[in-house]
């Protein structure tokens, strides 16, 4: 089965993590983000994926190639300019000479284990033109709110609803960005234009073959901000979302790669990449990812944090609730906490205390004692 994944967005809200790497391939625990989506889709019978890209996806290609490693055929389609969510689909279909059978379309920024097989089954049973995967949320304001009648037919679609539109609704189901579509939907999208699927196509399909498939109990998260990136990481480590990482960690909730040297202590759940070393008296975990080749000095403490490849953490340094991109150097005794995000190659001198969600852009050099909050 074919699937079109939209990956046209720039991921600005995830900067500085996306300053050097596009959002689809930023590392999440131990693999590029999009690999989670591809592994999940493969488990539901998808073997041919079209990535709809907004700009030349060199780094995405470098990370994912032709998909053969994942057992999927991967094709890249690059728009001449952003076409919007429906325009991008139409452009990809035109470039490929059409899509003939029932296919999937996905937003490229969700970490999920929604049962797509059940959604496909429902789609076939109802004879729908389009079936939207739905997940329950407390606050639908940042999403597409979907109202269904008891037969699962969609009776209303409200993209980014205003508070006044929520009156009288007791349970909010939103579009999860997981769609089963018939090729006939393509004919509704004009070629060569910017068109939003949420604002133009779904409203036109209400009462006309648009259905919703409720995925209660599934895991679903848009990973587009540092807070949600960290939460997604923790959920993978805890096994709250079904992924290959959970299988890798096993019952001990710990994955130490080959050649890891541990003189300190690792508290699960934790993942430590190849060639990393943890000094005497250092404390790693719980809820920690160390990438490959990370050095943690004696007596340092790392908790609820992501520390990517090649980072050097000095003796006695403290890292809590933070994201540290590849190649960062943190001096002895420095403190990084409170949602701080350090971009690639940042250098944090001794005596710095970084917190309160501070974002430090790639390559920045913070001299000793420069920041203390």
Contacting positions for ligand GDD (CB under 6 A) = 6-9, 52-54, 79, 82-85, 88, 107-110, 143-144, 159, 174-175, 177, 198, 222
Phi, psi of 149 (to 5 degrees): -90, 175
Q: Which CB contacts under 8 angstroms, 24+ apart, belong to 315-324?
A: 315/279, 321/230, 322/354, 323/17, 323/226, 323/229, 323/230
Partners of residue 319 on adjacent β-strands: 302, 336
85: partner contacted, choices ligand GDD, Mg ion, none (Cβ within 5-8 A by kind): ligand GDD
Binding mask 97-126 for Mg ion (x = CB under 5 A): ------------x-----------------
- Beta carbon nearer to ligand GDD, 110 or 218: 110
Minimum Å gap between C-beta 85 and ligand GDD is 5
Binding mask 206-225 for Mg ion (x = CB under 5 A): ----------------x---
Q: 125 exposed, middle or buried (CB, 10 Å; 0-12, 13-18, 19+)? A: exposed
* Strand (E) or helix (H) holding 266: strand 265-266
CA atoms of 355 and 373, how far apart (whole Å): 6
- Beta carbon nearer to ligand GDD, 107 or 277: 107
Closest-approach residue to ligand GDD (CB): 8
Minimum Å gap between C-beta 120 and ligand GDD is 19
CB 328 within 8 Å of CB 293: no
39: partner contacted, choices ligand GDD, Mg ion, none (Cβ within 5-8 A by kind): none
144: partner contacted, choices ligand GDD, Mg ion, none (Cβ within 5-8 A by kind): ligand GDD
Minimum Å gap between C-beta 320 and ligand GDD is 29
CA atoms of 20 and 240, how far apart (whole Å): 29
178: partner contacted, choices Mg ion, ligand GDD, none (Cβ within 5-8 A by kind): none
Count of residues in contact with Mg ion, rule CB under 5 A: 2
CA atoms of 304 and 285, how far apart (whole Å): 7
Minimum Å gap between C-beta 106 and ligand GDD is 8
CB 153 within 8 Å of CB 125: no
CB 96 within 8 Å of CB 203: no
Residues within window 124-153 making contact with Mg ion, judged by CB under 5 A: none
- Beta carbon nearer to ligand GDD, 140 or 333: 140
CB 113 within 8 Å of CB 243: yes
- Contacts to Mg ion by CB under 5 A: 109, 222
């Amino acid at each position: 089965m074919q699937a079109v994944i939209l990956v046209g967005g720039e991921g600005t809200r995830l900067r500085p993590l996306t300053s050097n790497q596009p959002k689809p391939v930023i590392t999440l625990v131990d693999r590029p983000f999009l690999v989670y989506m591809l592994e999940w889709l493969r488990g539901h019978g998808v073997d041919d994926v079209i990535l709809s890209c907004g700009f030349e996806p060199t780094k995405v290609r470098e990370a994912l190639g032709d998909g053969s490693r994942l057992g999927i055929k991967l094709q890249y389609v690059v728009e001449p300019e952003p076409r919007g969510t429906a325009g991008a689909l139409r452009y990809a279909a035109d470039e490929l000479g059409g899509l003939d059978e029932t296919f999937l379309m996905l937003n490229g920024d969700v970490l999920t284990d929604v049962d797509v097989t059940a959604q496909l089954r429902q789609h076939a049973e109802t004879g729908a033109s389009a079936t939207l995967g739905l997940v329950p949320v407390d606050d639908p304001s940042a999403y597409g709110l979907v109202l269904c009648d008891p037969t699962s037919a969609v009776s209303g679609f409200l993209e980014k609803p205003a508070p006044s539109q929520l009156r009288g609704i007791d349970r909010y189901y939103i579009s999860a960005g997981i769609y089963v579509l018939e090729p006939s939907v393509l004919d509704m999208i004009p070629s060569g234009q910017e068109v939003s699927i949420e604002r133009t196509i779904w409203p036109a399909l209400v009462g006309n073959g648009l259905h919703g498939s409720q995925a209660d109990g599934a895991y679903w998260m848009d990973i587009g901000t540092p807070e949600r990136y960290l939460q997604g990481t923790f959920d993978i480590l805890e096994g709250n979302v079904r992924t290959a990482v959970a299988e890798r960690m096993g019952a001990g909730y710990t994955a130490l790669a080959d050649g890891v040297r541990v003189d300190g202590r690792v508290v699960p759940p934790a993942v430590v990449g190849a060639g990393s070393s943890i000094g005497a008296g250092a404390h790693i975990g719980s809820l920690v990812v160390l990438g490959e080749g990370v050095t943690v000095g004696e007596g340092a403490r790392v908790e609820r944090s992501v520390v990517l490849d090649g980072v050097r953490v000095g003796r006695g340094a403290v890292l809590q609730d933070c994201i540290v991109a590849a190649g960062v150097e943190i001096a002895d005794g420095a403190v990084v906490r409170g949602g701080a995000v350090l971009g690639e190659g940042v250098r944090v001198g001794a005596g710095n205390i970084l917190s309160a969600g501070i974002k430090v852009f790639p390559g920045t050099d913070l001299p000793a004692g420069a920041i203390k909050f």
